[in-house]
């Protein structure tokens, strides 16, 4: 029961601070703004140009509409991944805030296992991350439905929900590990700024994978954010990408998927969903084990 009360307390602390919510969604708002201003049109133009290169008797107006729909779905998938990181980071920030205001020390003097308090922060971050990511999908689908696009089936919603759980788990363990290295509000604000700035690049949202230098692509392939983005994009874009590229050679479709980071290749071989799933889970476990070791050392030193 204590664990549940602590989880509830952490969630309420986040919800009651409106500035905290706003800044945890700031990266999403920046991405939407960039897509509306120029990135969305640039990506849609790229698809239309690619379709035009293969010639044939094509409907230019339909190609444009499909390309815009494809870019919206691709962007929405990326936004879900970005939110899984920024929202869980804001939730973990409550731990830093408690430490700064000596609340954590007050908790630790109680005759309760310290691990309970740490677990409560992580679980609260996971719960809030899942809720906000689902809300993002629902709002995005509502927009797509209103603008005449095709909404997901129940099976696709189920697939997305399961992927959100895995991605939020991976993101929350990663930000929890990062939060172990900061012990002041100013340091955490700096960390939040850096993460908020880089997350769009590390998830290959601001720029598609194919536009990045080969060495940068190699670095991104070693990070879970890229696999999370690819994992989510495949589900979001499956239907619309097949519609958009209907009648074109499979090489054009596969090339576009890799260029946009919908698929990921190692040594010219496309990695499957099982690899992405294993990468996200194993990296999450490694993050949380390292964080647990750091917490143990801090506990020993503080006694």
Confidence of residue 162 (pLDDT cuts 50, 70, 90): very high
**Is the predicted pLDDT of residue 209 greater than 60, yes or no?**
yes
Which pTM value belongs to this model?
A: 0.87
Number of structural domains the chain divides into: 1
CA distance 121 to 281: 19
229 near 78, Cβ under 8 Å?
Answer: yes
Confidence of residue 202 (pLDDT cuts 50, 70, 90): confident
**Is the predicted pLDDT of residue 303 greater than 60, yes or no?**
no
**Is the predicted pLDDT of residue 238 greater than 70, yes or no?**
yes
HEC profile of the chain: CHHHHHHHHHHHHHHHCHHHHHHHCHHHHHHHHHHHHHHHHHHHHHHHHHHHHCCCCCCHHHHHHHHHHHHHHHHHHHHHHHHHHHHHHHHHHHHHHHHHCCHHHHHHCCCCCHHHHHHHHHHHHHHHHHHHHHHHHHHHHHHHHHCCCCCCCHHHHHHHHHHHHHHHHHHHHHHHHHHCCCCCHHHHHHHHHHHHHHHHHHCCCCCCHHHCCHHHHHHHCCCHHHHHHHHHHHHHHHHHHHHHCCCCCHHHHHHHHHHCCCCCEECCEECCHHHHHHHHHHHHHHHHHHHHHHHHHHHHHHC
Q: How many CB atoms lie within 10 A of CB 197?
A: 13
For the segment 213-237, what is each residue's pLDDT rounded down to a tens digit?
A: 888 889 988 989 889 999 999 999 9
**Who wins on pLDDT, 58 or 64?**
64
Residues in CB range of 60: below 8 A, 6 or more apart: 48
**pLDDT of the residue at 47:** 86
**pLDDT of the residue at 166:** 94
36-52 burial string, b = 16+ CB within 10 Å, else e? eeebbeebbebbbebbe
Rg (CA), the chain: 21
- The boundaries of the domain holding residue 143 are 1-302
**pLDDT of the residue at 88:** 92
For the segment 13-35, what is each residue's pLDDT rounded down to a tens digit?
A: 888 888 878 877 877 788 788 77
**pLDDT of the residue at 106:** 65
What does pLDDT average to over the chain?
85
Confidence of residue 104 (pLDDT cuts 50, 70, 90): low
Residues in CB range of 26: below 8 A, 6 or more apart: 86, 196
| Residue 77, both tokens | 């998938």
**pLDDT of the residue at 283:** 93
**Who wins on pLDDT, 145 or 165?**
165
**Is the predicted pLDDT of residue 302 greater than 70, yes or no?**
no
**pLDDT of the residue at 299:** 63
Q: How many residues make up the chain in this entry?
A: 303
């Amino acid at each position: 029961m204590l664990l549940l009360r602590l989880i509830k307390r952490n969630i309420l602390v986040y919800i009651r601070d409106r500035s905290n919510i706003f800044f945890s969604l700031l990266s999403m708002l920046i991405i939407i703004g960039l897509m509306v201003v120029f990135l969305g049109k640039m990506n849609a133009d790229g698809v239309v140009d690619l379709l035009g290169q293969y010639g044939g008797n094509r409907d230019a107006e339909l190609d444009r509409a499909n390309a815009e729909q494809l870019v919206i779905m691709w962007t929405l998938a990326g936004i879900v991944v970005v939110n899984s990181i920024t929202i869980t980071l804001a939730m973990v920030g409550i731990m830093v805030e408690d430490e700064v205001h000596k609340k954590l020390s007050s908790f630790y003097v109680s005759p309760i296992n310290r691990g309970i308090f740490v677990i409560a922060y992580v679980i609260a971050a996971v719960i809030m991350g899942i809720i906000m990511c689902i809300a993002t999908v629902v709002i995005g689908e509502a927009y797509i439905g209103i603008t005449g696009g095709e909404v997901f089936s129940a099976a696709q919603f189920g697939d997305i929900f399961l992927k959100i759980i895995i991605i939020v788990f991976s993101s929350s363990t990663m930000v929890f590990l990062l939060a172990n290295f900061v012990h002041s509000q100013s340091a955490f604000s700096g960390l939040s700024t850096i993460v908020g700035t880089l997350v769009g690049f590390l998830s290959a949202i601001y720029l598609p994978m194919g536009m990045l230098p080969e060495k940068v692509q190699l670095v991104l392939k070693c990070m879970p954010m890229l696999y999370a983005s690819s994992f989510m994009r495949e589900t979001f874009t499956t239907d619309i990408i097949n519609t958009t590229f209907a009648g074109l050679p499979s090489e054009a479709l596969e090339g576009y998927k890799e260029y946009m980071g919908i698929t990921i290749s190692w040594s010219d071989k496309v990695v499957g969903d099982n690899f992405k799933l294993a990468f996200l889970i194993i990296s999450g476990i490694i993050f949380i084990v390292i964080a647990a070791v750091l917490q143990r050392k801090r506990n020993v030193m503080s006694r």
